[in-house]
Amino acid sequence: MKRESPAAQRNRDPIAEALVPLLPARGVVLEVASGSGEHAVHLARRFPHLLWQPSDPDGEARASIALYVREAGLPNLRPPLALDAAGEASFPRAEAVLCINMIHIAPWAACEGLFRKAPGGLLFLYGPFFRDGVLTAPSNLAFDQDLRERDPRWGVRRLEDVAALAARNGWGSPEVTEMPANNLLVAFRR
């Protein structure tokens, strides 16, 4: 069954615009935790010079992604892979990795696995973050509380904690782009 995400429909254009100056000129972009598949199709259309590889650990999500991929019929959009950032399996080769709205709706082990296993020289994270010295939007505080009530291992992550994890795994300092709805696009380079 094809899933739809109103959030994906709202944020896909701002994410695409923010990625324009950051993505490589060619190669594979691995999307980790692709969810419904809507971002993968939109970004593959927007960046036809790149090969898009969606993935998700959830079988129902992969079924949705596969339906979007078939309907789109884009030559640069591959069928979804079963990848779990927190699992043991390695990631396939890619020049860049994109992860949208995953690290706060997953245990910290998924974020650790993402930085440990991400191939290539670019890693992009999109979503809400807490930042030292930056006033947190009330909506992000409420979202964090809701996430932690659903699963105590989840929650909006501190950018400083994510940056420290990145550094321990050979990634540089984060490049932060402010995004709508109190989100950030955070780029790491190796």
- Tokens, residue 133: 């010295």
Please answer whether residues 58 and 3 qualify as being in contact, where contact means their C-beta atoms are separated by less than 8 angstroms.
Answer: no
Each residue's pLDDT tens digit, 38-92 = 999 999 999 999 999 999 999 999 999 999 999 999 999 999 999 999 999 999 9
Residue 179 has pLDDT above 90, yes or no: yes
C-alpha 164/C-alpha 171 separation (Å) is 9
Of 91, 86, 90, 98, nearest to 154 (Cα)?
Answer: 86
What's the confidence (pLDDT) of residue 8?
87
Domain boundaries, the chain: 6-189
Residue 6 has pLDDT above 90, yes or no: no
- What CATH number belongs to 6-189? 3.40.50.150
Residue 17 has pLDDT above 90, yes or no: yes
How does 98-116 read in b/e, with b if 16+ C-beta sit within 10 Å? Answer: bbbbbbbbbbbebbbbbbe
- The arithmetic mean of pLDDT across residues 119-142, rounded, is 93
Q: Is the pTM of this model over 0.75?
A: yes
